[in-house]
Chain A
Amino acid sequence: MSSVKIKLNPAEVEKLKEVCASFGNQSGELINVLHKAQSIFGYLPAEVQEIVAQELNVPVAKVYGVVTFYSFFTMIPKGQHPISVCTGTACYVRGAEKVLDEFKRRLKIEVGETSADGKFSLSCLRCVGACGLAPVVLVGEKVYGRVSADGVADILAEYE
């Protein structure tokens, strides 16, 4: 958990409250609201979870329980350039793990973490439907195909 209070952008907070209202502030819509919240803030810090709890009238412990249960939700801010390595079956058998290890080694972070300078974050995903290009890496919206461990440095260099 973050012990430091994060100052949220008031406009984004307003947007979050509108999202809650658009779901009728129904406690049953918690997961849907969290999805939207994460797309607004990029991640789900404690402060955002508290607002959601307040708006939907559910215990914040429950919100945290849901956030920590589903791997899609994250409490760590995404980097400026989020890197996703596909570890679906096709990519995996064609060496995705080596590619992933190279990203970890170069960025000195684990999956789910963000580099100290906030530039890159690393995550895994399962199949983007481009198995012909396996192994596939996404940086932001950009797709890289047939990536090898040797090619990782070049990809990162594009964003330095």
Chain B
Amino acid sequence: MEFVNLTIDNKTVKVEKGTSILKAARSVGIDIPTLCYMSLGDMNIENKPGGCRICVVEVEGRKNLAPACCTDAHTDMVIKTNTMRVLNARRTVLELILSDHPADCLICAKSGNCELQDMAHKLGVREIHYKGEMSTYKPDKSPSIIRDMDKCIMCRRCEMMCNQVQTVGALWGINRGFEAVVSPAFEMDLEKSTCTYCGQCVAVCPTGALTEVDHTNQVIRALADPNKTVVVQTAPAVRAALGEEFGLKPGTLVTGKMAAALRRLGFDFVFDTDFAADLTIMEEGTELLDRLGKFLNGDKEVKLPILTSCCPGWVNFFEKQFPEMKDIPSTARSPQQMFGAIAKTYFAEKIQTKREDMVVVSVMPCLAKKYECQRDEFATDGNPDVDFSISTRELANLIKGANIDFNLLPDEDFDNPMGDSTGAAVIFGTTGGVIEAAVRSAYELHTKKKLEKVDFEQLRGLEGVREATIDFDGLPIRIGIAHGLGNARKLLEDIKAGKSDFHAIEIMACPGGCIGGGGQPLHHGDSSILKARQIAIYQEDKNKPIRKSHENPFIIKLYEEYLGHPMSEKAHHLLHTHYFDKKNEFLIE
């Protein structure tokens, strides 16, 4: 390994050759400000277009200021990061950006969580010396994401996530000069593009240009309606991140406080999506064993590998980009939708409430869930199984708005019968978790033997594509895992080319899985936050007395009382779905 020695603000720095000035400076505690730059180091995700020029520094012997994020450190460089010239340039650049930015911070959805606002504060901007034309674009509201490009500062993080990480290709920089903006093709609405609503663009947007569609008002209205029974479900990854919105350390588990807060918000039944995750394992696991059994019996028609189907961003991805493979994913609905279907049938009957009088709200780390619950196939007579899906961030706002001091809340339990879950369900919140949960149950159901060790370390981690072989009592089962749609694409291309030897593949659209979902508290480019959430998820799994889905007593009861058995006719009707070819109609015959 080759090293270079340089001086930054009179400090001697030794870094590996090829390191940027920015990283070299940060390694010795010199925090050069950045705006467009973003790095999720552990996942090899880096955005450094060198566009905003906030990070400029003075390099001795060089005429122009250099952008620290995309200039390599060299031996004997002498760098100053805080000279008068640098500070003036930095402020001028920021003022120019602000001169074309609507100053509506007071009512902006991103206020208080905006990197542009923070930068104006950090640099102490009190006046904008430049006035001129302002960019105006038509607003674009999709079922999940709102684009307000008047607030775009062309950092191009969204474009990087959408193309390099997710390979979705919905957003791209268009036009040039003052008219340049990030947009779908032909400036069409996001809804008509290849967008999967994964929300990773929203998760990295430094300003209010990309935000989620806010459903909190509809939820408040439902809670205030005395004629409605309002049921809430919370996804596994929410409990590992919600605390961050209340100043708690990343990775703090707040399951009990969250249940308490939801009860205080006035939800009639505080349930858990984890219950439905256990149910998903019953259906998906059975489907896996069914396909595997047929395959082992020489059935040539059977579709393997089976792909998981819990992630709505991933479902949108293959419906829009790989529709020819729509028969491969499991037909099991996502836990959110299984929950809704069971709540408005089984549970509604139990409490003698009509489905029209029940409102099901889901709290999700995800923006694609907003679209998913609005899909036609998940409604009966126009009444959706899940009425509103709100993000982790929206729940935090609801709690704050209701004057609840979250940190002082006691730990409370979920209600029954749809609040009890196993450790297997909790790990749905991280990459590798769904397939580990499936393996725990499928192993026992297939081998009829007790699984001694339920922790499958070989399925865990944050590597983009992982694979493992699990021994099903002499039968080697090949498992693939991908998180991030770009990684998913690699596995899909292999299947398409007939090169895949996997029996089952888990796919999650967001880097890290749901812990890194588009609806989670913003990580602002700090990947240690995702790691902390992942550790918390596995901790919650360890804390559970039952860690295999098929041992959840309330799931067993649900099958006994209502569904019969996994993949029964009733289960098919309520818990399974089918997929559509949503490739944009080609315009030419």
Contact = CB atoms under 8 A, between A and B. Distances in A.
A65 B172 contact: yes
A59 B172 contact: yes
B173 A65 contact: yes
Interface in A97-113: none
Contact of A62 (B169, B186, B188): B169
Grouping DSSP codes into helix (H, G, I), strand (E, B) and loop, the A interface class, with mixed when no group exceeds half, is helix
Nearest to A6: B587
Interface stretch (A43-51, A88-96, A133-141, A148-156): A43-51
Interface string A48-65: 011100100011111111
B588 interface: yes
Given A61-B172, A64-B174, A1 B586 contact: no
A64 B187 CA distance: 9
Contacts of B173: 65, 69
Given A64-B174, A65-B174, A69-B176, A59 B588 contact: no
A5 interface: yes
B189 to A, nearest CB: 11
Contact of B587 (A46, A59, A62): A46
Given A51-B588, A69-B174, A1 B169 contact: no
A50 B185 CA distance: 10
Given A68-B175, A68-B176, A69-B174, A61 B586 contact: no
Q: Which of B169, B170, B194 has the most CB of A within 10 A?
A: B169
Q: Which of A1, A50, A61, A68 has the most CB of B within 10 A?
A: A61
Given A8-B588, A46-B587, A59-B194, A1 B170 contact: no
Interface residues of A, number: 21
B186 A1 contact: yes
Contact of B172 (A6, A50, A54, A64): A64
A46 B585 CA distance: 13
Contacts of A58: 169
A128 interface: no
A24 B319 CA distance: 28
Q: Which of B176, B194, B588 has the most CB of A within 10 A?
A: B588
Nearest to A58: B169
A61 B170 contact: yes
Contacts of A68: 174-176
Contacts of B168: 59
B174 A59 contact: no
A13 B185 contact: no
B184 interface: yes
Interface in B415-451: none
Contacts of A49: 185-186
A50 B163 contact: no
A59 B194 CA distance: 9
Contacts of A50: 586-588
Contacts of A1: 186-188
B496 to A, nearest CB: 13
Given A64-B174, A68-B176, A69-B174, A47 B169 contact: no
A68 B173 CA distance: 9
B281 to A, nearest CB: 35
A1 B189 CA distance: 12
B193 interface: yes
Interface in B159-212: 163, 168-176, 183-188, 193-194
A61 B587 contact: no
A61 B588 contact: no
A46 B194 CA distance: 15
Contact of B186 (A5, A8, A54, A64): A64
A5 B176 CA distance: 26
A54 B588 CA distance: 12
Please list the 7 inter-chain residue pairs (A to B) with the smallest Cβ-Cβ separation, ordered nearest first: A59-B169, A1-B186, A61-B172, A65-B172, A61-B185, A64-B185, A60-B185
15 contacts: A1-B187, A8-B588, A46-B186, A59-B185, A59-B194, A60-B169, A61-B169, A61-B171, A61-B184, A64-B174, A64-B185, A65-B173, A65-B174, A69-B175, A69-B176
Given A61-B193, A65-B174, A68-B174, 16 more contacts: A1-B188, A8-B588, A46-B587, A47-B587, A47-B588, A50-B586, A59-B194, A60-B185, A60-B186, A61-B174, A61-B184, A64-B172, A68-B175, A69-B174, A69-B175, A69-B176
